[in-house]
Structure 1
């Protein structure tokens, strides 16, 4: 069970990093478009969505760590 949780934790951590990098790239694209005066764009919406996903994956990783610690304390 602990091995599964560790693999799940690693997956959540990787997903967090991927979402963060995609959000930063989208943010930079959106900043470039705003500098040109085009206003809110699809890149801005994508940036917001990626940052929301990052927060979700971080919360998931924290919950998995808490579960691992809880199960380790029970043995």
Structure 2
């Protein structure tokens, strides 16, 4: 279970990052770019917590 959740968290960050890059390259809405950036930062925070939790769980 813990081995599967880390790639999911990292993948979610990567997908949102790619969506933001595509939006920027296509000259999309600035509001959409801001929303995607905020979502990416939140997902990065969650991914870090997940990774730290898995490391803690496996060390114990």
Separation in structure 2 between the aligned mates of residue 6 and residue 58 of structure 1, nearest angstrom: 18
Aligned position for 1:12:
9
Does 2:23 match 1:26?
yes
Gaps (5+ residues) in structure 1?
A: 31-42
TM-score with structure 1 length normalisation? 0.69
TM-score normalised to the size of structure 2?
0.83
| Higher Cα Rg, which structure | 1
- Equivalent in the alignment of 2:30: 44
Q: Number of residues paired by the alignment?
A: 59
Q: Pick 1 or 2: higher relative contact order, CA cutoff 8 A, min separation 6.
A: 2
Instruction: Tell me, yes or no, if structure 1 residue 64 matches structure 2 residue 50.
Output: yes
* Structure 2 unaligned spans of 5+: none
